[in-house]
Amino acid sequence: MDLIRNESVEVIMKNLKNVIIGKDDILKSVMIVLLAGGHLLIEDVPGVGKTTLVKALAKSLDLSYKRVQFTPDLMPSDIIGVNIYDKNTGTFFFRKGPIFNQIFLADEINRTSPKTQSILLQAMEEGEVSTEEDHFILEKPFMVLATQNPLEYQGTFPLPEAQLDRFMMRIAIGYPDKKDEVKILKNHYTIKNLSLIEKAVSKEEILHMQDEVSRLNVHEDILEYIIGIVNVTRIHEHLQLGASPRASIDLLKVSRAAAFMSGRDYVIPDDVKLYTEAVLGHRMIMSPEARIEGKRMDEIIKNILNRVKIPVISNG
């Protein structure tokens, strides 16, 4: 593997570990989504470091960054931008909104209406933004990170299925364990001091790594394994809605990025299995009967994985 590439990834991870204590697996997931060129949904209770994590990532990558607090009165124009009349020229000009940043944080995305939530769909899927008057290509790399509070919290709106399907992965940071929380208390001033975060990579290096990930070798049996998993979701007795073709593609992309992070130029079945829940879980809907029986999505996904034969891959 490329020495510069490995060092860059390590510096980014070190930066993130300085602000999120004891959650190395979560930080690795964030890196995997970045390398796979996807978007990330972070679902968790307030106060566990979601926003700090995204700020540290943006600073590590030295990319343009904007955070928007999603509220019930947020309008689509607050995200995309608005046409403004110039009285000097007698014409309108378009003032770009915060979506025109390379790292866009939609903070508490489920506190705004589905109409405003859906304004992100084109940007996330196509890397483009259209208005009534013009069409814009967003600068790459482009990544949307959205935080979401559990729906039990007052004043939240569930994300539409089409919106959820655009997020490559959903993760939860979770509360720290006792030992890590002691470290947080001892170092809380330093943790919040993002001035200590150093730039790890250039824009060109990020694009280069993303390109390498996209070209990583994938054995035909791995492709069959991914399709097998997704197909079972579509016929599973506890699921009302299975995973989409986009989910298959994202699981492949994530598997490639996971192999890259592990220093391999080929994908193994564990790369697929390890991230199946994070990639598929938020895209599927349990049947009413499964909900009544108290089934959990992680249990269903474990059952799905047990039904699909694991291929034996010697190497790429």
Q: Which of 164, 190, 208 is the last residue of a domain?
A: 208
Domains held by the chain: number: 2
Clarify whether residues 267 and 126 are in a common domain: no
Q: Which of 175, 208, 241 is the last residue of a domain?
A: 208
Q: Which domain holds residue 121?
A: 3-208
* Secondary structure of 28-69 as H, E, C letters: HHHHHHHHCCCCEEEECCCCCCHHHHHHHHHHHHCCCEEEEE
Helical segments of the chain, H only: 3-19, 24-35, 50-61, 77-80, 114-117, 121-126, 161-164, 178-186, 188-192, 203-214, 220-235, 245-261, 269-280, 288-292, 297-307
Q: Supply 140's token pair.
A: 């790459």
Domain-embedded: residue 316: no
Clarify whether residues 171 and 120 are in a common domain: yes
Q: What is the pLDDT of residue 59?
A: 85
Q: What is the pLDDT of residue 3?
A: 46
Q: What is the pLDDT of residue 255?
A: 97
Low-confidence ranges of the chain (pLDDT < 70): 1-6, 47-48, 151-155, 187-194, 314-316
The answer to whether the bond into 141 is cis (omega within 30° of 0) is: yes
Q: How many C-beta neighbours within 10 Å does residue 40 have?
A: 22
Clarify whether residues 202 and 116 are in a common domain: yes
| Of 51, 1, 61, 2, nearest in space to 31 by CA | 61
Domain-embedded: residue 299: yes
3 state SS of 303: helix
CATH number at residue 25: 3.40.50.300
- Residue-wise pLDDT for 145-189, tens only, equals 998 877 655 567 778 888 899 999 999 887 878 887 787 777 665
